[in-house]
């Protein structure tokens, strides 16, 4: 298979327009689109083809409320870790879209799945979490290609999330994802707009 320059340019635009979205419209996402995203997830790479990611589509109002409470608790604690100026800047950041995103996922990683027969992870078991991260990024790019936005909420306590969702003992919490139609389209990351942190050029050593 040979890709054209136009196709490569399209991928480049998708990569640059992938944003961590926190401002969502409440409009529902059609199930046909959700099926395409699920199919895209099936293409994600994983060590030994273990496919350790476990997704829970969160529809229950009680669970969503529990996530909001946990986010608010963790966010308050995180703010206390900064000095006054940085704390004020932190307080201005919108760090989650859980108040409006129509689709939400709790993502977990199975720490010893039967799939893959432990190939490639005996020496580096962390590759299971890396595989889940690649699955999330695959979903992120597929969502962007559908003109959807996706945001990842990391200000949550993993153990509390595992208890909230009553998952099996060998599942570890990896991420909480918010998905939907963005309120606005902007290729400038939020943390750039708020002058929190600019990109640092990737180190690429030759030895």
Supply the angle between the helices 84-92 and 61-80 in degrees, to the nearest 10. Answer: 160
Q: How far apart are CA 56 and CA 168, in angstroms?
A: 13
- Mean pLDDT, to the nearest integer, of 147-157? 94
Domains of the chain (ranges, CATH numbers): 25-184 (3.40.109.10)
pLDDT at 148: 96
- Contact criterion met (CB below 8 Å) for 155 and 76: no
User: pLDDT averaged over the chain?
Assistant: 90
Alpha helices, DSSP H only, in the chain?
Answer: 5-17, 31-41, 61-80, 84-92, 127-145, 158-165, 190-193
Structure tokens at 18: 């992938």
Q: How far apart are CA 66 and CA 202, in angstroms?
A: 38
Positive or negative: CA dihedral 29, 182, 73, 78: positive
> 162 pLDDT exceeds 60?
yes
Nearest CA among 169, 52, 173, 171 for reference residue 117: 52
> 200 pLDDT exceeds 80?
no
Q: How far apart are CA 183 and CA 24, in angstroms?
A: 5
pLDDT in tens, 30-56: 999 999 999 999 999 999 889 999 999
pLDDT at 193: 61
């Amino acid at each position: 298979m040979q890709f054209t320059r136009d196709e490569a340019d399209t991928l480049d635009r998708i990569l640059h327009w992938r944003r961590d979205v926190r401002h969502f419209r409440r409009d529902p996402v059609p199930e046909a689109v959700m099926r395409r995203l699920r199919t895209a997830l099936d293409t994600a790479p994983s060590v030994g083809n273990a496919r350790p990611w476990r997704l829970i589509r969160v529809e229950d109002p009680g669970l969503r409320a529990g996530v909001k409470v946990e986010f608010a608790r963790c966010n308050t604690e995180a703010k206390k870790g900064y000095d006054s100026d940085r704390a004020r800047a932190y307080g201005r950041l919108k760090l989650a879209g859980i108040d409006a995103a129509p689709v939400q996922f709790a993502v977990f990683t199975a720490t010893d799945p039967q799939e893959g027969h432990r190939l490639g992870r005996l020496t580096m078991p962390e590759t299971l979490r890396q595989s889940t991260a690649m699955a999330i990024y695959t979903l992120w790019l597929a969502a962007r290609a559908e003109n959807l936005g996706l945001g990842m909420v990391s200000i949550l306590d993993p153990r509390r999330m595992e208890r909230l969702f009553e998952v099996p003992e060998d599942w570890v919490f990896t991420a909480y994802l918010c998905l939907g139609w963005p309120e606005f389209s902007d290729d400038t990351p939020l943390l750039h707009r708020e002058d929190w942190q600019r990109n640092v050029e990737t180190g690429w050593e030759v030895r």
